[in-house]
A = this chain, B = another copy of it.
């Protein structure tokens, strides 16, 4: 066996363990009976320990370093080695003591968060979060950074993303999107009452399956199940699963989670299976991943063209509920812009205000300009400032997201970045695919999927997010695309 084959074999075995964990995780969220939880968490911990041990094993490291110096490798092989070494060097910065302390702290913080939510009382959770934030600061030091400690955290989810980049983006949001949304708030509001009637859950489910099939999601290489929080997971490119939830009194719950997760899943199904377990079989970054879900959810799924085709179908399924609604009214309703308390229910414009608030708070925490105990107060002030909305309690405020209790600081910005990438990529798709809008109006989404397959999916981690963006659009991430999309679309909806 060649040295590269040997390396590949070792890395793929580590991936096997990681994917086994992913199966256990999927099961935990979908089918596991409640009493199974205790032993499941120890099974997951053991697998994580085994994978970490396999990865940091000295023989493997020697092998990787030798291969990294080997100039005879092909481009793909060299990229797999380069990215693996990069990851190894990162992993080695953590002592196992630190990993264990972090893991314990996250567990404590997560339980604390759950209890705090139940009691609707931030204080319950405050001290464990404080400890976790202290550890995250330590982590920044371990990982190293230039300019701002937050850069070390951002880099974990979106490689090379810096505070400077995010500040530029959010300054544009403040300068352009905030005043635009103010105009919308002042305009005549659209009606979305009909979304909140009784909709049979099974019928919603069946329609969701139809929609996924129409998008090109391969049910021979995936499936949809129910979970409390929708997610996408994969155990290889040929087993990519989505989950959704349905609400009997809210049609939009299932609809957008279905299309959103479907977008993530199409990315995973399009990654090269022959690179199983290696970096080239993995998504570029969280931002690029989110660009795929957002492109399908917003640019496609919330467009009038899309519902020209699909509205007659959903009207047929729910004739009573939708009898006096037109495709255009349906489209208006799903794009209602309004101030809201909960990020995950926000429209696609104010959504970024929610992200900006979290980003600003995270930065302040890392700069030690605010204390954890002050979070509720600061949170509420920012919601007043950006959304002119009063937060009635912690559950609908600072306690709504799980991320901080997981130690996932630096994660939120990738949601906004994903939407901005989506707008930029979709603008290119419109340019490069002849009659795309026309195709969408007929429910023909194959050319769009092929565009994404060719431009994004098939490359795995071959190119950085920045390089990929330039390849697709000829320029770096540029907020203008999103802003133009927003003005064009919402200008019409709100008659601005």
Listed in ascending order, the chain A residues whose CB lies under 8 Å from chain B are 12-13, 16-17, 19-21, 23-24, 27, 31-36, 38-40, 42-43, 46-47, 49-50, 218-223, 225, 235-236, 238-239, 241, 273, 276
User: Can you list 25 A-B contacts with CB-CB less than 8 angstroms, sorted by A residue number?
Assistant: A12-B42, A16-B42, A16-B47, A17-B46, A17-B47, A19-B39, A20-B24, A20-B43, A20-B46, A23-B27, A23-B43, A31-B31, A31-B225, A33-B220, A33-B221, A33-B223, A35-B221, A35-B238, A36-B238, A36-B239, A38-B238, A39-B238, A39-B239, A39-B276, A50-B50
Tell me whether A31 and B239 are in contact (CB under 8 A): no
A235: B residues at CB distance < 8 A: 36, 39-40, 43
Complex: A47 Cα to B18 Cα, angstroms: 11
In the complex, what residue of chain B is closest to A12 when comparing beta carbons? B42
User: A16-B42, A31-B225, A34-B220 known; 5 other A-B pairs, CB under 8 Å?
Assistant: A16-B46, A33-B220, A33-B223, A36-B221, A36-B236
Specify the chain B residue showing the minimal Cβ separation from A273.
B39
Instruction: Kindly report which residue of chain B lies nearest to residue A276, judged by CB atoms.
Output: B39
- Kindly report which residue of chain B lies nearest to residue A239, judged by CB atoms: B36
Name the residue among A12, A21, A39 with the largest chain B CB count within 10 angstroms. Answer: A39
Q: Which 4 A-B pairs have the closest CB atoms?
A: A36-B239, A16-B46, A39-B236, A35-B238
A21 proximity list for chain B (CB < 8 A): 20
Residues of B within 8 A of A39 (CB): 19, 235-236, 238-239, 273, 276
- Give Cα distance in the complex from A39 to B39, angstroms: 26
- Which chain B residue lies CB-closest to A221? B35
* CB-contact partner of A33 in B16, B50, B222, under 8 A: B222
Contact of A46 among B13, B23, B218 (CB under 8 A): B13
> How far does the alpha carbon of A34 sit from the alpha carbon of B27 in the complex, in Å?
18
Give the distance in Å from the alpha carbon of A47 to the alpha carbon of B42 in the complex: 16
Q: Which residue of B lies closest to A39 (CB)?
A: B236
A221 vs B27: C-alpha distance in the bound complex, in angstroms? 14
- The chain B residue with its CB closest to the CB of A50 is B50
Q: Are A50 and B238 in contact (CB under 8 A)?
A: no
Q: What residues of B have a CB within 8 angstroms of the CB of A42 in the complex?
A: 12, 16
Q: A414 to chain B: closest CB distance in Å?
A: 27
Most buried by B among A46, A241, A273: A46
Pair A239/B20 contact, Cβ less than 8 Å:
no
Please report the C-alpha to C-alpha distance between residue A22 and residue B46 in the assembled complex, in whole angstroms: 15
B40 and A239 within 8 A (CB)? yes
Contacts of A33 in B (CB 8 A): 219-223, 238-239, 241
A13 to chain B, nearest CB (A): 5
Give the chain B neighbours of A223 by CB distance below 8 A.
31, 33
A280: shortest Cβ distance to chain B, in Å? 16
A225-B30 Cα distance, complex, nearest whole Å:
13
Q: Which residues of B contact A276 (CB under 8 A)?
A: 39
**Chain B residues closer than 8 Å to A241, beta-carbon distance:** 33
Q: How far is the CA of A241 from the CA of B12 in the complex (A)?
A: 30
For A222, the chain B residues whose CB sits under 8 A away are 33
Shortest A37–chain B CB gap in Å is: 8
In the assembled complex, how far is the CB of residue A266 from the closest CB belonging to chain B, in whole angstroms? Answer: 15
Distance (whole angstroms) from the CB of A144 to the closest CB of chain B: 33
Q: Give chain B residues whose Cβ lies under 8 Å from the Cβ of A12.
A: 42
Task: Determine whether the beta carbon of A20 is less than 8 Å from that of B47.
Answer: yes
CB atoms of B47 and A218 under 8 A apart: no
Closest-CB distance, A33 to chain B (whole angstroms): 5
The CA-CA distance from A439 to B238 in the complex, in Å, is 52
Shortest C-beta distance, A12 to chain B (Å), equals 8
Contact residues in B for A239 (Cβ distance below 8 Å): 32-33, 35-36, 39-40
